[in-house]
Amino acid sequence: MNLLIISQVFWPSTSSVSQHLTDLAEELAGRKHKVHVLTSRKDYENPILHYKRTEAFQRVTIERLWQTGFDKSSKVGRLLNFASFNLMLFFRLLLLRRGQYEIIIGLTAPPLVSFFGVIAAKLKDARFCYWTMDLQPELAIVSGYLKEGSVTAKGLLFLSNYVFKQADVILTLDRYMADYIVKRGAQKEKIQINPVWPVMDRVFDGPMAKNPFRCEHQWNDKIVVMYSGNHAVVHPLDTLLKAALFLKDDSRFVFVFIGGGVRKKDVTRMKTENGLSNILQLPYQERSKIHLSLGAADIHVVIHGNGCTGFTHPNKIYGAMFIGRPIAYIGAQPSHITDILALCPGNISVEHGQVKELVEKLILFANKSEEGRNWIGLNNMEYAHKNFGRSHLINNLIQEIEKIGCTAV
């Protein structure tokens, strides 16, 4: 089959959406499907960077569209980046030949991408597959980028509802998101729940003390509390940062923040204003080395913003559990994360604002023997390997995509 994927991010972007989408595209191409990707020439995290207009990667054909390259820390700049990409995508989709693709796969960000995708599918005799990793404009409303009840918000919700109703299949990540999508008008039988997978190709299985990333930063016997990934506006870091401030004189702890995003400045501000030597900030790590950086942590922090359950699906938990690390969860309850942790004893779970509780639980964690901490991680690893295997989850997605392809007009 000929498949078209439309997304603002794709390889070599380091964002989670990009990495999972790239994995799916590679696997589809590996199964003899012809895969074409329409994406942005600008890097999502660093818009100053731009990529080749056309290139091939792992038998996937990539076509990159022009967009503005404003700093994403500016609300106006982000909106202009989204708008310019949407505009270029709209005109490019109009140029598709009728019957050129059996399936068009669209994602949820930025807003309108999949609206244009479902319209193109109707005009060009294709089926539309909607992969809902994050829901827009809901997250834009929660984050304050859009005012709830405004004409713009209502308009985007109306268009989003149209996509839910018209998509041939909706691939979503958890039961909360599925329930919400049904309330928005989607047919329940068209929804398939399938979480994403760890993006690591390897796991460092040597002793913690021999981990090259840990040795490079001379963490030795410290308790490394790591937050790795996008510092998103909808997933506030305040509780974690206040815990780091509270524990500034406990030399056992180091709080490591890896990645970027609009809330990166919050970490820098807390570190600078309070002279916190127990906070270390590092850039995104190459995918080929991420197993070393993630494997260097004693406990991984997963954050989920209040009011975001059903709209977004933080997937840091999968990689951390896959490599056998304990989890410190800060966020909304219930959520898909609390569902998982309820089955995996020993991990930490607190709500936003529960700084004292988080500090107490981190101290209890540090006081455990190495064997006790490892026991939590090994239980997590066993659960992750059983439920979140890469090949199994990708195969499930492809089966759903191929199923609608068999009925393409």
What per-residue confidence (pLDDT) applies to 380? 96
Which pLDDT value is given to residue 289? 83
pTM comes to: 0.89
**Residue 117 confidence (pLDDT):** 96
Asked if the bond preceding 137 is cis, omega within 30° of 0, the reply is yes
Q: Measured between alpha carbons, how far is 128 from 121 in angstroms, rounded to an integer?
A: 6
Angle (nearest 5°) at CA 197 between 372 and 359: 40
The whole-number pLDDT of residue 407 equals: 60
The token pair at 250 is: 């406990």
Fold of 2-197+389-405: Rossmann fold (3.40.50)
The closest of 258, 302, 296 to 280, measured between CA atoms, is: 258
Q: How far apart are alpha carbons 266 and 259 in whole angstroms?
A: 13
Q: Please give the chain's pLDDT, 409 residues, in tens.
A: 999 999 999 998 878 889 899 999 999 999 999 999 999 998 877 778 889 999 999 999 999 999 998 877 677 887 888 889 999 999 999 999 999 999 999 998 777 899 999 999 999 999 999 999 889 889 889 888 889 999 999 999 999 999 999 999 999 999 999 999 999 999 999 999 999 998 877 788 888 889 999 999 999 999 999 999 889 888 999 999 999 999 999 999 999 999 888 899 999 999 999 999 999 999 988 878 888 999 999 999 999 999 999 999 998 999 999 999 999 999 999 999 999 999 999 999 999 999 999 999 999 999 999 999 999 999 999 999 999 988 999 999 999 999 987 765 4
How many whole angstroms separate alpha carbon 162 and alpha carbon 250?
53
**373: phi then psi, degrees, rounded to nearest 5:** -70, -40
CATH number (3.40.50.300, 3.40.50.920, 3.90.1150.10, 3.40.50.2000) of 208-387 reads 3.40.50.2000
- CB burial of residue 163 (10 Å; 0-12, 13-18, 19+): buried
Where on the phi/psi map is residue 125: left (φ > 0), alpha (ψ -120 to 50), or beta?
left
Q: Is the separation of the CB atoms in 72 and 8 below 8 Å?
A: no
Q: Angle CA(345)–CA(230)–CA(137) in degrees, nearest 5? A: 100
pLDDT recorded at residue 82: 86
Please provide residue 23's backbone torsions phi and psi, each rounded to the nearest 5 degrees: -60, -45
Strands (E), 43-178: 54-57, 60-65, 103-106, 127-132, 169-172
Domains 2-197+389-405 and 208-387 share a fold: yes
| pLDDT on residue 171 | 96
Cα(256)–Cα(112) distance, integer angstroms? 36
Which residue in this structure is represented by tokens 């909304």? 332
For residue 255, what are its two tokens? 């709080």
Helix/strand/coil for 282: strand
Of 5, 13, 1, which is closest to residue 260 (Cα–Cα)? Answer: 13
For the chain, the structural domain boundaries read: 2-197+389-405, 208-387
Q: Are 226 and 52 in contact (CB under 8 A)?
A: no
